[in-house]
């Protein structure tokens, strides 16, 4: 899922190639115009990712769909548009690793407890 910007055309006010070359624009107006174009581009990216994520969620099984809120989809679309996905994935990986270590320790403790109970049960039978 990769964002492709709208094709630039001379009729589009946001992608016009003559905006930065206009003689009647001052430097400040050019900066404001560039800022406006950047915001429009960012907004287009968000809408694109929102649509892609919604389509992706609709294809998921129903039990997974119910666990994904619209707010979560919106936040993920913003993260994707901002380009902050790699730090987010890294945080999720480290969080998953910690969770797996906790679950592994719980499993070992449970097995040790069950083993102790089994031995005490065998001793009471004998």
- Predicted confidence (pLDDT) per residue in 16-58, tens digit: 333 334 443 444 555 666 787 889 999 999 999 999 999 999 9
The proportion of the chain whose per-residue pLDDT surpasses 90, expressed as a percent, equals 39
Residue 104 burial class via C-beta count within 10 angstroms: exposed 0-12, middle 13-18, buried 19 and up: exposed
Entry pTM = 0.47
65: Cα within 13 Å, side-chain hemisphere: 9
| Pairwise CA distance, residues 115 & 126, whole Å | 17
Angle between helices 27-58 and 70-82 (to 10 degrees): 130
Angle between helices 70-82 and 85-125 (to 10 degrees): 130
Question: Which residue, among 52, 45, 55, has the nearest Cα to 4 in the 3D structure?
Answer: 45
């Amino acid at each position: 899922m990769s964002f492709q910007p709208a094709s630039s055309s001379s009729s589009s006010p946001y992608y016009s190639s003559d905006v930065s070359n206009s003689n009647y624009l001052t430097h400040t107006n050019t900066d404001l115009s560039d800022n406006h174009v950047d915001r429009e581009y960012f907004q287009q990216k968000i809408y694109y990712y929102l649509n892609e994520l919604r389509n992706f969620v609709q294809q998921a099984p129903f039990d997974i769909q119910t666990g994904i809120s619209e707010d979560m989809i919106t936040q993920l679309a913003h993260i994707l548009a901002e380009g902050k996905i790699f730090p987010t994935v890294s945080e999720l990986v480290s969080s998953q690793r910690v969770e797996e270590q906790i679950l592994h320790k719980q499993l070992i403790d449970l097995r040790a407890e069950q083993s102790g109970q089994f031995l005490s049960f065998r001793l009471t039978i004998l």
